[in-house]
């Protein structure tokens, strides 16, 4: 820290906030998620980047408090009953995850003839996942309440619990520690820890709420916030004093308040602090990426980072499958927890302090951890793209088409249904294809049969009998898919007549290019509505009908005229202005009774004129 | 016992027809009289046959009110006749839906009565020109009555028009009360002519 405290602090704050404000929105806009934005911002301003911030350790420790607050907030969301329901995933999945990871890493280390202590400590670090990153990811994916999210959370919770025995183990294996004294210390510490947790639970249950009520009744919001922060910090200090994780204490405090009437208020008040500190934490992680060290042994660092991530991925996926998750859920679960967590920093630094391995090794391992953290946002990005692809592009799977019919209707939504009903009622039931199984099931209840399949796929078209069909009706909602299908069929099956629904002018022009007949989706409906409006305005219904009909004729003419000149915006505008004037003239004349209608009337009335005049 | 009168009205540009509007306004509030505006009901020209047949069944007298277009009725009224008067319902062996129900026209024409005669501008009397309707009525077993003609409409000033409208209302009221105009058989008359009923 600098001698003049305040300016230095403000300066640092400005750098952190500025970097976050610059990097995070950009990262979000690019679809990379906020975590990666923070990490990159950290790398940029860190000692190995622009060097705006020289010292990272303090910040990292301080900002770990963001994780603590996050656990407090998570606790607020979970009532005690629900927590008890999670026993199995917490101890089963979590326990297995930690033990298996440590076991595998140690085995690997021994296989490579490394020191067993180094291998064990590395295993302990690697077993941890980043609560901060994982929870952020789960929240951004909106899967916290889903099976994969719940399991991930349970595993994270166990890792938090496992910190205590792991730290003790660390002291035990440290060179020069007497095994006996080690164990002696353990028992005391464990007793203290258990005692504190009990005190916390009992005290929290009976004291916390009256205090909160008393403070809330003062009506001073900032005091309420101050107390909430004090509570979290206080519990964290108590927990560290007996060697427990701060996060665990905050989590317990949160759970105890989950069913209190102040839950929402606490959430709202703590949320911004949590967000900022968590952001700071990610920045700090970014800063701690030791670029020169990585540059010295880039392949080692990258290889270790990716290797650990891969190892964890496989293990987590298998574990989730073993616990009965669907492969899709298991994949998300594994990806979420695949990075090595912030607690690994603590373990490695503690191990270096205990002279289990040199500082350089700790530095190397820390970089490996940071690298692994970088992978998660990228994984999530890839996962998102993959899921979207899966959703958009249906599999090649399709139902077996029982017979081939002259008419194929693609899409069984609002448009396809009407066409199908119309055709069925005249004894010409079409072959109907849709890629939404729910829609197909729903319509089946009404006695309509449709086949499952993605019409944009040539093989599905073939199976549906496009080669022998007379008509293909494109009634699917996705305008782009419809156009693509039209292009394909137009090219490969020119004998098939295509009828399309065109979303708008742009699509209409595309169909006109191919000389494919189409209707403009909303045009007819809009005209019908307009006709009703005219009637309400006092037009006779036939007059309203004629007016809208004329409007429609005119509009269609305009479209045909704009088609060849559509790329020349100026001409299109000139033409449409001219046409609009024409239309106004026609309809005004009709309105003024100066039109065909009057001419007919006058014509008949004038029939008698010459005769009448000669009378 | 009041006769229920159904006025089937057809004028594609009714809103612009001064005379027909005045006539219709005079009768539309009369009890036992239903005015059925065909162009208002079927702007798209497709006729709901069952609805129309039910409507006819509920009435005792059919009045066809329309301007004379090309020596006949406007097309939607012809369309009505073509589609509603179905075989087995209006005509045919056991068809008796219309039997005995009087059929009568209320017609407006631009030309005066004297242009509708032999050697005159239009060569034929209105009675002769309406013969397809007369035969249709006869085939359906309907008494075909002498029409209510409003002619030379361009010469009708506002006062004359109001007078004519009142006469129309009285004419329709008479139908309700069962006092029917004389039945017409043009096939049996040597010189066929109607007198505008004033």
ipTM for the whole complex: 0.85
Rounded CA-CA distance A291/A48 in Å is 6
Q: Give chain B's length.
A: 198
Determine, for residues A608 and B44 on separate chains, whether the beta-carbon distance falls below 8 Å.
no
As a whole number of angstroms, the distance between CA B15 and CA A546 comes to 13
A contacts of B17 (beta carbons < 8 Å): 601
Name the residue of chain B whose CA is nearest to A596's CA: B13
The pLDDT confidence band at residue A605, using thresholds 50, 70 and 90, is: very low
Are A455 and A433 within 8 A, CB to CB? yes
Cβ-defined contact of B111 to A612 (cutoff 8 Å): yes
pTM assigned to the model: 0.52
Lowest mean pLDDT among A185-189, A358-362, A606-610, B172-176: A606-610
Among A35-39, A153-157, A607-611, B130-134, the range scoring the smallest mean pLDDT is: A607-611
Q: Which residues contact A303 (CB under 8 A, 6 or more apart)?
A: none
| A318 SS3 class | helix
Q: Which residues contact A216 (CB under 8 A, 6 or more apart)?
A: A224, A262, A265
Between β-strands A431-434 and A407-410, what pairing exists: parallel, antiparallel or unpaired?
Answer: parallel
At CA A237, angle to CA A236 and CA A241, rounded to 5? 115
Which range among A131-145, A178-192, A444-458 shows the weakest confidence by mean pLDDT? Answer: A178-192
Which residue on chain B is closest to A604 by alpha carbon?
Answer: B110
Structure tokens at A341: 């967590």
| Chain B nearest C-alpha distance from A539 (Å) | 8
More confident residue, A324 or A586: A324
Beta strands in A202-254 (DSSP E): none
> Who wins on pLDDT, A409 or A356?
A409
In percent, the amount of chain B with pLDDT more than 70 equals 95
Q: Which residues 6+ apart lie within 8 Å of A177 measured at CB? A: A171, A354
Q: Which residues of A435-465 are buried (b: 16+ CB within 10 A; e: fewer)?
A: beeebbeebeeeebebbbbbbbbeebbebbe
pLDDT of A314 over the 90 cut: yes
How close, in Å, is residue B122 to chain A by CA atoms? 9
A206 three-class SS: helix
Please report the pLDDT score of residue B160 as a whole number. Answer: 93
Quick check: B112 and A612 CB within 8 A? yes
pLDDT of residue B169: 96
* CB-nearest partner of A598 from B16, B39, B115: B16
CA distances from A301 to A192, A296, A308, A346, A557 (A): 40, 9, 11, 19, 68
Option in B43, B114, B122 nearest A541 (CB): B43
SS3 letters across A13-56: HHHHHHHHHHHHHHHHHCCCHHHHHHHHHHHHHCCCCCCCCCCC
Residue with tokens 């690298």: A371
Q: What is the pLDDT of residue A228?
A: 86
Q: What is the largest CA-CA distance in chain A?
A: 140
- Would you give the DSSP letter of residue B87? B
Q: What is the pLDDT of residue A611?
A: 31
Under the banding of pLDDT at 50, 70 and 90, the label for residue B194 is low
Mean pLDDT (whole number) for A430-437: 85
- Residue A17 confidence (pLDDT) above 70: yes
> Which whole number is the average pLDDT over A393-402?
66
The pLDDT of residue A590 is 64
Whether the pLDDT of residue A183 is over 50: the answer is no
Range ranked top by mean pLDDT from A228-232, A352-356, A488-492, B46-50: B46-50
Contacts of residue A359, Cβ cutoff 8 Å, sequence gap at least 6 = A352
Q: Which residues contact B75 (CB under 8 A, 6 or more apart)?
A: B12, B69
- Does the beta-carbon distance from A604 to B110 stay under 8 Å? yes
For residue A603, give both structure tokens. Answer: 């014509």
Among A513, A502, A424, A428, which Cα is nearest to A471's?
Answer: A428
CA distance B18 to A600: 14
pLDDT of residue B104: 96
Q: Distance (Å, rounded) from C-alpha A488 to C-alpha A461?
A: 10
Residue of B9, B10, B12, B113 for testing the chain A interface, max A β-carbons within 10 Å: B12
CA separation for the pair A426, A417 (Å, rounded) = 14
Q: Would the CB atoms of A542 and B152 count as touching at under 8 Å?
A: no
Among A173-177, A343-347, A526-530, where is mean pLDDT lowest? A173-177
Do B70 and B51 touch, CB atoms closer than 8 A?
Answer: no
Q: How far apart are CA A48 and CA A289, in angstroms?
A: 8
B157 burial via Cβ count (<10 Å: 0-12, 13-18, 19+) = exposed
Contact predicate A220/A261, CB 8 Å: no
Asked if A608 lies within 8 A of B151 by C-beta distance, the reply is: yes
Q: Tell me how far apart the alpha carbons of residues B35 and B23 are, in angstroms, rounded to a whole number.
A: 11
Q: Can you tell me which residue has the tokens 């159904």? A: B6
Nearest one of B36, B31, B27 to B8, comparing CA atoms:
B36
The Cα–Cα gap between A38 and A27 comes to: 9
Which chain B residues in 54-93 lie under 8 Å from chain A, judged by CB atoms?
Answer: 67-69
The verdict on a CB contact (< 8 Å) between A593 and B122 is no
Place of tokens 């631009």: B110
Which chain A residues are within 8 Å of B123, Cβ to Cβ? none
Could you tell me which residues come within 8 angstroms of residue B131 by beta carbon, excluding any fewer than 6 positions away? B186
Comparing A587 with A559, the larger pLDDT belongs to: A559
> Between residues 505 and 544 of chain A, which touch chain B (CB distance below 8 Å)?
539-544
Read off the DSSP letter of residue A204. I
Lowest pLDDT segment from A25-34, A126-135, A398-407, A602-611: A602-611
- Is the pLDDT at A606 greater than 50, yes or no? no
For residue A101, the model assigns a pLDDT of 92
- The DSSP call for residue B123 is S
Closest to B152 (Cβ–Cβ): which among A543, A600, A612?
A612
Least CB-CB distance to B121: which of A546, A598, A611?
A611
Which ranges of A257-399 does DSSP label H, i.e. alpha helix? 263-287, 291-296, 298-322, 327-337, 343-353, 359-392
Q: What spatial distance separates the first Cα and last Cα of chain B, rounded to whole Å?
A: 27
Sheet holding A497-502, edge to edge: A451-452, A431-434, A407-410, A471-474, A497-502, A517-520
Q: Is some CB atom of chain B closer than 8 A to the CB atom of A206? A: no
- The alpha carbon of B194 is separated from its chain's Cα centroid by a whole number of angstroms, namely 14
d(CA A609, CA B112): 9
In chain B, what is the greatest distance between 2 CA atoms, to the nearest angstrom?
Answer: 50
Which string of b and e fits A415-428 if b means at least 16 CB within 10 Å? bbbebbeebeeeee
> What is residue A88's three-state secondary structure?
helix
Measured distance CA(A312)–CA(A303) in Å, rounded: 14
Phi-psi region of A173 (alpha: psi -120 to 50; beta: other; left: phi over 0): alpha
Contact call for B153 and A605, based on CB within 8 A: yes
Distance CA A214, CA A5 (A): 36
Highest mean pLDDT, choosing among A41-55, A101-115, A371-385: A101-115
Alpha carbon distance A205, A578 (integer Å): 79
Q: How many residues appear in chain A?
A: 615
Dihedral pair phi/psi, residue A147, rounded to 5°:
-50, -45
Q: Which residue from A402, A514, A403, A425 is spatially nearest to A469, judged by alpha carbons?
A: A403
Determine contact, residues A347/A121, Cβ cutoff 8 Å.
yes
pLDDT at A484 over 80: yes
The per-residue pLDDT for A409 is: 93
* DSSP structural state of residue A261: T
Q: What pLDDT is recorded for position A140?
A: 75
């Amino acid at each position: 820290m600098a001698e003049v405290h305040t300016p230095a602090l403000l300066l640092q704050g400005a750098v952190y906030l500025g970097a976050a404000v610059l990097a995070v929105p950009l990262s979000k806009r690019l679809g990379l998620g906020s975590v990666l934005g923070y990490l990159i911002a950290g790398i940029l301003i860190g000692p190995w980047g622009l060097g705006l911030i020289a010292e990272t350790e303090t910040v990292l420790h301080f900002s770990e408090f963001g994780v603590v607050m996050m656990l407090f907030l998570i606790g607020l969301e979970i009532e005690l009953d629900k927590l008890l329901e999670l026993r199995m995933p917490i101890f089963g999945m979590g326990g297995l995850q930690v033990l298996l990871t440590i076991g595998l890493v140690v085995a690997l280390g021994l296989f490579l003839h490394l020191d067993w202590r180094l291998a064990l400590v590395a295993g302990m670090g690697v077993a941890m996942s980043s609560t901060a990153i994982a929870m952020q990811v789960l929240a951004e994916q909106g899967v916290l309440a889903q099976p994969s999210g719940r399991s991930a959370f349970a595993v994270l919770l166990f890792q938090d619990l496992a910190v205590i025995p792991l730290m003790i183990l660390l002291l035990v294996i440290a060179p020069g520690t007497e095994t006996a004294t080690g164990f002696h210390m353990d028992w005391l510490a464990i007793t203290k820890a258990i005692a504190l947790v009990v005190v916390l639970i009992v005290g929290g249950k009976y004291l916390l709420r009256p205090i909160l009520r008393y403070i809330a009744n003062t009506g001073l919001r900032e005091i309420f916030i101050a107390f909430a922060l004090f509570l979290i910090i206080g519990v964290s200090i108590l927990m560290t004093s007996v060697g427990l994780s701060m996060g665990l204490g905050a989590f317990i405090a949160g759970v105890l308040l989950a069913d209190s009437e102040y839950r929402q208020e606490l959430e709202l008040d703590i949320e911004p602090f949590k967000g900022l500190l968590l952001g700071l934490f990610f920045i700090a992680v970014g800063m701690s990426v030791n670029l020169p060290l990585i540059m010295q042994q880039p392949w080692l660092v990258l290889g270790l980072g990716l290797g650990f991530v891969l190892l964890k991925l496989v293990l987590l996926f298998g574990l989730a499958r073993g616990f009965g998750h669907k492969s899709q859920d298991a994949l998300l679960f594994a990806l979420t927890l695949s990075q090595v967590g912030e607690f690994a920093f603590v373990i490695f630094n503690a191990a270096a302090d205990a002279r289990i391995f040199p500082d350089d090794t700790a530095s190397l391992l820390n970089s490996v951890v940071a690298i692994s953290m970088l992978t998660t946002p990228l994984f999530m990005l890839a996962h998102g793209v993959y899921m979207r692809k899966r959703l958009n592009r249906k599999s090649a799977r399709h139902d077996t088409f029982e017979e081939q019919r002259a008419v194929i209707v693609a899409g069984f939504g609002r448009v396809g249904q009407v066409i199908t009903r119309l055709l069925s009622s005249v004894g010409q039931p079409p072959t109907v294809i849709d890629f939404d199984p729910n829609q197909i099931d729903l319509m089946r209840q009404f006695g309509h049969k449709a086949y499952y399949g993605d019409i944009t796929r040539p093989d599905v078209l073939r199976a549906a009998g496009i080669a022998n069909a007379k008509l293909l009706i494109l009634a699917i909602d996705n305008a782009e898919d419809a156009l693509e299908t039209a292009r394909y069929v137009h090219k490969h099956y020119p004998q098939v007549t295509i009828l399309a629904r065109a979303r708008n002018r742009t699509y209409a022009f595309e169909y006109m290019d191919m000389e494919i007949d189409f209707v403009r989706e909303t045009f007819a409906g809009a005209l019908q509505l307009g006709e009703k409006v005219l009637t309400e305005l006092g037009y006779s219904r036939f007059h309203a009908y004629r007016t809208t009909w004329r409007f429609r004729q005119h509009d269609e003419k305009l479209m045909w005229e704009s088609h060849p000149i559509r790329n020349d915006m100026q001409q299109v505008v000139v033409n449409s202005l001219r046409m609009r004037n024409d239309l106004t003239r026609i309809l005004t004349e009709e309105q003024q009774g100066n039109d065909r209608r009057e001419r007919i009337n006058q014509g008949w009335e004038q029939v008698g004129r010459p005769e009448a005049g000669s009378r | 016992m009041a006769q229920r009168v159904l006025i089937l009205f057809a004028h594609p540009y009714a809103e612009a027809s001064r005379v027909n509007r005045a006539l219709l306004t005079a009768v539309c509030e009369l009890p036992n009289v239903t005015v059925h505006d065909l162009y208002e009901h079927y702007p798209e020209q497709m006729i709901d046959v069952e609805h129309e047949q039910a409507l006819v069944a509920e009435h005792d007298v059919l009045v066809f009110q329309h301007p004379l277009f090309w020596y006949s009725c406007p097309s939607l009224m012809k369309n009505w006749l073509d589609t509603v008067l179905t075989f087995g319902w209006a005509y045919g062996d056991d068809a008796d839906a219309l039997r005995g129900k009087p059929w009568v026209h209320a017609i407006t024409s631009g030309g005066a009565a004297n242009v509708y005669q032999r050697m005159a501008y239009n060569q034929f009397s209105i009675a002769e020109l309406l013969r397809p309707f007369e035969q249709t009525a006869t085939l359906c077993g309907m008494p075909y009555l002498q029409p209510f003609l409003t002619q030379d409409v361009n010469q009708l000033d506002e006062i004359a028009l109001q007078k004519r409208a009142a006469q129309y209302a009285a004419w329709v009221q008479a139908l309700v009360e069962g006092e029917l105009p004389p039945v017409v058989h043009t096939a049996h008359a040597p010189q066929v002519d109607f007198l505008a009923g004033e």
